[in-house]
Amino acid sequence: MSFAFPSFLWALSVLSIPVVIHLFDFRKSKKVYFSNNRLLKQIKQETTQQRRLKHWLVLACRLLFLFFLVVAFAQPFFPAKEQKTAGHNVIIYLDNSQSMSSRVAEKTRGLDDGIARLREIINVFPLEARFKLITNDFAPFSNTFKTKSEIENLLSQLRLSSVARSFEEVKARMALDNLSLDVFWISDFQQSTLGKLTALDSSNQWHLIPIQYEKSTSNIFVDSVFRDNPFAISGEKSTLTAKLQNNGTAKREDVVVKLIINGSQSATTTVSFEPNGEASASFNLPAGLKKLNEAKFAINDFPVSFDNEFLFALNFTERIKVAEIKEGKGTSAVEAVFGNKELFAVQRFSASNINYSVIKEADLIVVNQLNSIDAAFQSTLKQYQQAGGLVLLIPSPKPAVSSYQFLTKSPLSLVLKSESLEMERPDFQNPFFNNIVEDKTSALAMPMGKKLMDWGIDRSALLKLKDGQPFLSKIGNTILFASPLEKDFTDFNNHALFVPIMYRLAASGKSDNHQLYYSLDDSFVAIRGDSLSSEGQVKMLGNQEIMPTQRRNGDNVLLELPRHLISQGFYYVTLKDDTLDLLGLNLSKKESLLNQLDGEEMKANLGGGKNISLFKARDAAAFGTEIKERYLGVSLWKQALVIALLFLLTEVLLIRFLK
C-alpha cells in the first residue's frame, strides 16, 4: 500500500493528546468523612473497575478515529497493476458490426455496452492523452489521434455498420509499425468474421475486452434463395425456395416465414428447426410478374433481428437472344414460335449473309433446314459450343448429313424409307418437362412424326416415336430434330406441346447472368444490357446514389461494390434514363453466425504473450472498476474516512449507553 500524500502522516502525532488526557486526571478531589465507610468502599471498588474499562474503550475509539482520519487525508491506495505507455497515445477498436445489436442484458445491446466501456477507457487516461478510434466503417476520423472531447463527440454519432471486418483488416488499419502503444480491442470476437489469427509482436500492449451475449442467444436467418426454373416463361409455374438456418442450441418450432413482393405479402408458411439445424420454405411465384420486382423473405426472430429480412430481385426484363440461320424467305415455324418480342430477341440471317459477331452473343442458335453447313460456319459453331452455347439443328428435306456430323459425337445417317408414327408420351419425371403440362394422363394426344435423320438409340431422348427411335434429343450442347418441321414429315409444330417445349429449349440455352441476390461481401457485380450506350456512367440508386468503379466489355458492365459506402437494401442500376437491373444487397451471412471465442481462447490464438491482457468484467460498471484498478490502483481514502466515522460513532455510543 502507498500514500498519495505521505507527508500528512506527521499528523499522527495528535494521537498523543487523548493519551495524555486519559493518563492524567486534572479534576480536584474532595474528601468526605463518614462514620462507617465499609459499604461505600465496596461500591467504589466495583464502580472504579467499570469506569476504567469505559475509559480504555473510549480512549481506543478516539485513537482509532484520529488515526484513520489522518490516514484518509494521506490518501492511501494499492498501486496500479499495469503502467500506461509514456506517450499516452492510445488506439481503440470498437466493433460496430450488426452482430453487436445482440443483447448482453435485458435492455442493453452489445454496441451500447461497448460504447460505455470505451468511455471508461478514455476517462482513465490524463487530459493530455490522445486517442485513435477505429470502427468497422474505417471512417476518415480514424486516420488521426484525437482529444478526449473529440472522442466523446464521435461516440454520440456511432451507429451499427453493415461491414464485417476480420482481425487482420483492423490490425492493418491501425498502422502499428514502429510504435509502442496501448491497443484496446472491444468486440464480441465472432468466430465467423475474425478470420485467421496470428501471434502478436511484443512492441505494443494489447488489451482484449470481450462483449459476452446472453447464453440463450440464438438466431434464425435465411442462408440462400433459388428458383427451380430461372427462366419461367409463357405462364409456366415457378417455385421459389428459401433455405434457413438455426444458429443456436435450442429447438425452434413454428417460425413464421413471409414472402413479400413489391411491398405486398404474397405468401406465408411456418417452419421448425432442430438445434443448429436447417429448414426450407417453398412458395409458388404469382403469375403476371413483369419487369423488375423487389422481393424479400421476412421472419419473426427475437431478440436477434438485424437479419430478419433477406432481399432479392425478381428480374423478368431479360429477353432470350435467338439467332436463326435458314434458307429461303418464307415464315418458318421457328419464327412463329419465338415471335413474342417481350420474351425473345430474334435475329435472322441467311446462310450466305451471317453476322458472326451477333450470333456469338446469342443464347440459342437455330440452324433451320440448311442443306449443308460450310466450313466457316462450322468453325464458328464449334467455338460457340465450346464456350457453352446451345445449337438447335432442324434438318432440311435433303440434308448433307456429313456437314452436320461435327455437331454431335453420335454418327448421323439418313433414313431412306420411313413411315409416319405417333410419338410416345414424354417422360414427365424428366426435369425438362417440369410444369410444362398439367394434364399428364394417358389420354394426352401425341403428334405424328416421320424420321428422316437417324443417330441411333437414345434412351434419354426428349421425344420418341412408337418404335423407340428418337425424334428430339439433346446431346451435349446440340439439340437434334429427326425431321424438318414441315407437314410432309410431322405435325409437331402444330401440336400443343410444340410451344412449351421450344420455349423450354430456348430457356435452357440462356446463361443465368442475373443473380437473385448479392452480399456486401461480394467485390463485383456483373450487369448485362442490350446495346449499352458508350456515353455516361452506370449508377446505383437506392438508399443512396452511388457511382461505383466500372469496367465495360461489350454489353456487359462489371461494377465494383464500395464496401465502405454501401449498405443493405435494393439498388436500381441505371444508365442515363434506362434501368438496367435491380440488385438486392444483403448483409454478410457471417454476421448471422453468433458463435463467439471467449477471452481466454482469443488470447491463446494471438500467442498468449505477456503484452496481451484480458478484461473479464461482464458489464460496463464492473469494467470501469477493473480498469481503474489496473491503471489507477485502488484508492482507499474513502474506506479510511468511513472507518474513522464508525469509531467516532462508537465513542458516542459508549459515552451515552455504557454506565
Residue range 320-508, CATH number: 3.40.50.880
Confidence band of 83 (pLDDT split at 50, 70, 90): low
- 15-29, 131-145, 279-293, 507-521: which is most confident: 131-145
Same-fold call for 89-214+594-632 versus 320-508: yes
Confidence band of 432 (pLDDT split at 50, 70, 90): confident
Which CA distances in Å does 468 have to 395, 405, 450, 511? 20, 22, 13, 32
In this structure, which amino acid lies at residue 499? V
Please report the beta strands in 317-429, taking only residues with DSSP state E, as ranges in sequence order. Answer: 320-326, 344-350, 364-368, 390-394, 413-414, 420-422
Domain segments of the chain as ranges:
2-79+651-657, 89-214+594-632, 219-314, 320-508, 518-586
- Residue 456 pLDDT greater than 80, yes or no: yes
- Contact assessment for residue 110 and residue 211, using Cβ atoms and an 8 Å cutoff: yes
* CATH architecture for residues 89-214+594-632: 3-Layer(aba) Sandwich (3.40)
Q: What is the mean pLDDT of residues 427-435?
A: 79
The tens digit of pLDDT for each residue in 475-508 reads: 989 999 999 999 889 999 999 889 888 888 888 7
Is the pTM of the predicted complex or chain greater than 0.75? no
Residue range 518-586, CATH number: 2.60.40
Residues ≥6 apart with Cβ < 8 Å to 89 = 129, 130, 131, 132, 145, 179, 181, 182
- As a whole-number percent, the residues of the chain with pLDDT over 70 amount to 88
Residues ≥6 apart with Cβ < 8 Å to 277 = 245, 246
Fold of 219-314: Immunoglobulin-like (2.60.40)
- As a whole-number percent, the residues of the chain with pLDDT over 90 amount to 37
CA distance 93 to 215: 24
